[in-house]
Chain A
Amino acid sequence: MERHLALSARGVQMEYRDRQSGRRLLALENVDLEVPDGAFVSLLGPSGCGKSTFLKIVNGLLRQTAGEIKLHRVAKGREDAMVFQDASLFPWYTVTDNVAYGLVCAGASRSAARERAQPYIDLVGLKGFGDKYPYQLSGGMQQRANLARALAVDAAILLMDEPFASLDAQTRELMQAELLRIWNAARKTVLFVTHQIDEAVFLSDRVIVMAARPGRVIADITIEIPRPRTLEVKRTPKFQEYEEQIWKLIGGQYEPAAGATAS
C-alpha cells in the first residue's frame, strides 16, 4: 500500500552560540527522518540529544540553522499540533476553553471553538469535567486535556513532547494505554519524544534512538509487536529484547571509556 509521508526532514541542523564562551554548540547534527502517514514514531534519547529541539523545529517554535522540513498538508486545519510537557494548560481557563484554544488560535470564535472541542473532551475521557479549572484536575487528567487540545485542531501530525514525564508510574502506564486507544480512534500520525525506553517501545511503530553532543540519530528500530497492544505486552520476551537492544545503544553513551562511540 502506498503511504504518504506525514513528515520528512533532510539534514536538519541546529547550532547555538554559547553566550559566555562564544563557542558553537551543535544541538542537532544532520538529522534525516521520514514519518509515514498514520505511523507512531518515537524519538528516544538522553537529555541533551536534541529530541525536544527537533520537535520544536517541526512545530515552528524554533528555526533550524540548516536543513529542510516538509509537513504533509491537509485540506483543513494545521499541519501539526503540539502536546506539551506538564503545566501547559492555562490556569485561567476551564478545561473546555483550554481544549478549544487551538481552534481559537486558528481563528474560530470562542463559542464555535467550544462546541467543536466537545467531542475531543469526551474522546480523552474528560466527559463532565469541561467546567473544571486545571488546578481541580489530577496530573493525568491535565495531560488528557492537553492531548485533547492538540487533537481538536485536527492536524495531520501530533507532536508530543514527553507528555507523561511528570506523572507517577501507574498513571503513566494508564495514560500510555489510553494514548494508544485514542490514537487508534483518531487515526493520527504521532511523533513522540521520550527518554523512557519502555514507553517508546510500547507505543511506537518505530523508535528513533538519538545520542547527545552533538545531537544525532544513531538508530532507527522498527517495533514488530502486533497491535492492538495492551500493557501485558511489556512482560513478553520480545518486548524485553527491544528494551535490551535500545538500552545497549543508549547505555553505551554513558560509559566513560575513551573512544567508545556507539554508531
Chain B
Amino acid sequence: MAATTPLPRAAGSPFTWLRAAIGERLFYGLIGLVVVVVAWESTARMGLYKQTLMSMPSSILRVAMEDVTNGSIWPHIWVSSQEFAIGFVVSLVIGIPLGLAIGLFRRVDYLLSGLLAGLNATPNVALIPLIILIFGLGIEAKAVVVFLSAFFAVVVTTFSGVQSTARRHLDITRSFGGSPWLGFRTVVLPSTLPFIISGIRIGAGRALVGVVSAEILSANVGLGFYIALKAQFLDVARAMFGIIIFGFLGLVIGEGVRAIERRFEVWRPDLHH
C-alpha cells in the first residue's frame, strides 16, 4: 500500500517518513486521533466547560495508569471479555448454520422467519430483567444478552448471502453433474462468505453493546459496571477510561474481522489494492 503512494517532494521530513513506515491508513487514523485529543485537552484547560463533567485526556491517562498498575481494571476487562466471547461465539455457532438452513430450504424459512422477525423486533434491553431472573446475576445472563444482541445480525446477513447466490453459478454445478452437496460447498458457501463476514462484523458491534447494556443494568464486575459505578461517584476520568477501553476493543475486533476478510477473499478485487 505504502509503496504505491507517490512520494511527495519533501521526502525526508519526519511526517513523510512516518507515513511511509506505517502506511497511509494508520497514519491518517493517528492524525485524526491526535487532533481530537489535542482539541479536548486544550478546550478543557481553557475552561470552556466543567472539567468535572467532561474530564480531559491527561487526567484520563493519569487514572488509567493508576488502575493498570494497581491491577484494579483487569478483572473488569477479563469478565467483560468472557461475556463477549461466550455470547458472540455461540451466536456464530448457531446463527451461521441457521442462516444457511433458512436460505437453502424454503420450508425452514417459512417455519422460522416469522418467529425470528418477532424476536428481533423486541428491544433486547426489554428482555434483560427477565434474563437476569432466569440466569441469575453472573456471567451466564450477560452472555445470553450478548448472544441475543449478535444473533439476529448473523442469521439475517447469512440468510441474505445464500439468497443472493448467483443462479448462473449454481447452474454450472448442475450442468456438469455435480451433487447438491458439492454445489453447497463450492458455490453457496464461497459466495455467502462475504455476507457471513459482514454478519460477524455487525454482530460483534451489537455484542459489545450487549455487554455494556447488561452490565450497566445489573452487575458487580465488568467494564459496563465499572463505567456506571465511576459515573455515579462523579469519577468522570475513570468512566471515560472505561468507555475508551470499549472503543479500543471495538477497534481491535474490527481489525480482526478485516484480517479474516483478507485471508479468505483474495479473489475480491476491491479488497486488495
Q: Using an 8 Å CB-CB cutoff, how does the interface string of B27-64 with A read, 1 for contact, 0 for none?
A: 00000000000000000000000000000000000000
In the complex, A60 has a CB within 8 A of chain B: yes
A135 touches B175 (CB 8 A): no
Question: For the complex, what is the distance from the CA of A91 to the CA of B165, rounded to whole Å?
Answer: 12
Judging by beta carbons under 8 Å apart, are B187 and A90 in contact?
Answer: yes
Question: Are A88 and B168 interface neighbours, CB within 8 A?
Answer: yes
The segment from A78-86, A208-216, A219-227, A250-258 that touches chain B is A78-86
Q: Which of B217-273 contact A (CB under 8 A)?
A: 265-269
Interchain CB contact under 8 A, B266 and A105: no
Instruction: Flag if B168 contacts A84 (CB, 8 Å).
Output: yes
> Would B177 and A90 count as touching, CB distance under 8 A?
no
Establish whether residues A101 and B176, one from each chain, have CB atoms under 8 Å apart when the complex forms: yes
Question: Does B67 belong to the interface (CB within 8 Å)?
Answer: no
B169 CB contacts on chain A under 8 angstroms = 88, 90
Contacts of A8 in B (CB 8 A): none
Q: Is B190 in contact with chain A by the CB < 8 A criterion?
A: yes
- Chain B residues with CB below 8 A from A93, complex form: 267
Given A87-B168, A88-B168, decide whether A104 and B178 contact each other with a Cβ distance below 8 A. Answer: yes
Tell whether, in the assembled complex, residue A61 and residue B171 are in contact, meaning their CB atoms are under 8 Å apart: yes
A61 contact from B174, B182, B191, B268, Cβ within 8 A:
B174
What residue of chain A has the Cβ atom nearest to residue B269's Cβ? A135
Mark out the residues of chain B between 131 and 182 whose CB falls within 8 Å of any chain A CB in the assembled complex.
168-169, 171-178, 182
Contact status of A78 and B176, CB under 8 A, knowing A91-B267, A92-B190, A104-B182: yes
Q: Chain B: how many interface residues by the 8 Å CB criterion?
A: 21
Of A87, A92, A102, A133, which is within 8 A of B176 by CB? A102
Bound Cα distance A102, B171 (Å) = 12
Q: Does B120 reach chain A (CB closer than 8 Å)?
A: no
Which residues does chain A contribute within 8 Å of B173, judged by CB atoms? 105
- Of residues 69 through 110 on chain A, the ones whose CB sits less than 8 Å from some CB of chain B are 78, 81-82, 84-85, 87-88, 90-93, 101-102, 104-106
Question: A60, A85, A91, A133: which contacts B175 (Cβ < 8 A)?
Answer: A60
A35 to chain B, nearest CB (A): 19
Which residues of the other chain, A, contact B177 by a CB distance below 8 angstroms? Answer: 60, 78, 105-106
Task: Give A147-182 interface residues, CB cut-off 8 Å to B.
Answer: 153
Point out the residues of chain B lying under 8 angstroms from A153, CB to CB.
176
**A residues near B182, Cβ cutoff 8 Å:** 104-105
A118 within 8 A of B: no
Q: Nearest B residue to A59 by beta-carbon distance?
A: B175
> Nearest Cβ in chain A — how far from B261, in angstroms?
13
A101 and B172 contact, CB distance less than 8 A = yes
Whether B186 is near chain A, meaning CB under 8 Å from some CB there, is yes
Q: How many A-B residue pairs have CB under 8 A?
A: 59
Chain B nearest CB from A43 CB (Å) reads: 17
- Per the bound structure, the CA–CA distance linking A160 and B272 in Å amounts to 34
Instruction: Specify which chain B residues have a CB less than 8 angstroms from the CB of A82 in the assembled complex.
Output: 175-176
CB distance from A106 to the nearest CB of B (A): 6
**Residues from chain A with Cβ under 8 Å of B176 in the complex:** 78, 81-82, 101-102, 105-106, 153
Cβ 8 A contact of A104, one of B174, B186, B265, B269 = B186
Which partner residue on chain A sits nearest B266 by CB separation?
Answer: A133
Min C-beta distance of A102 to chain B, whole Å: 4
Which residues of chain B (168-225) have a CB below 8 Å from chain A? 168-169, 171-178, 182, 186-187, 190-191, 193
A164 to B187, CA, bound (A): 24
Q: Which residues of chain A have C-beta atoms less than 8 A from B265's C-beta? A: 92
The answer for the CA separation of A134 and B190 in the assembled complex, in Å, is: 15
Nearest CB on A from B174, distance (A): 6
- A91 to B186 CA separation, bound complex (whole angstroms): 11
A90–B189 CA distance with the chains assembled, in angstroms: 12
Please state if B269 and A90 are interface contacts (CB–CB under 8 Å). Answer: no
A residues 118-143 touching B (CB-CB < 8 Å): 133-136
Of A92, A105, A106, which is within 8 A of B191 by CB? A92
Partner of B186 from the list A84, A90, A136 (CB cut-off 8 Å) is A90
B269 surroundings in chain A (CB, below 8 A): 133, 135-136
What 7 new A-B contacts, CB under 8 Å, besides A78-B176, A101-B186? A60-B177, A61-B175, A84-B168, A84-B175, A90-B169, A106-B176, A135-B267
**Would you list 27 pairs from A and B whose C-beta atoms are within 8 A, ordered by A residue?**
A60-B174, A60-B175, A61-B174, A78-B177, A81-B175, A82-B176, A84-B171, A87-B168, A90-B172, A90-B186, A91-B267, A92-B191, A92-B193, A92-B265, A93-B267, A101-B172, A101-B176, A101-B186, A104-B178, A104-B182, A105-B177, A105-B182, A106-B176, A106-B178, A134-B267, A135-B267, A153-B176
Chain A contacts to B: CB under 8 angstroms: 59-61, 78, 81-82, 84-85, 87-88, 90-93, 101-102, 104-106, 133-136, 153
Ranked 7 nearest A-B pairs via Cβ: A105-B178, A105-B176, A92-B190, A102-B176, A135-B269, A92-B267, A133-B267
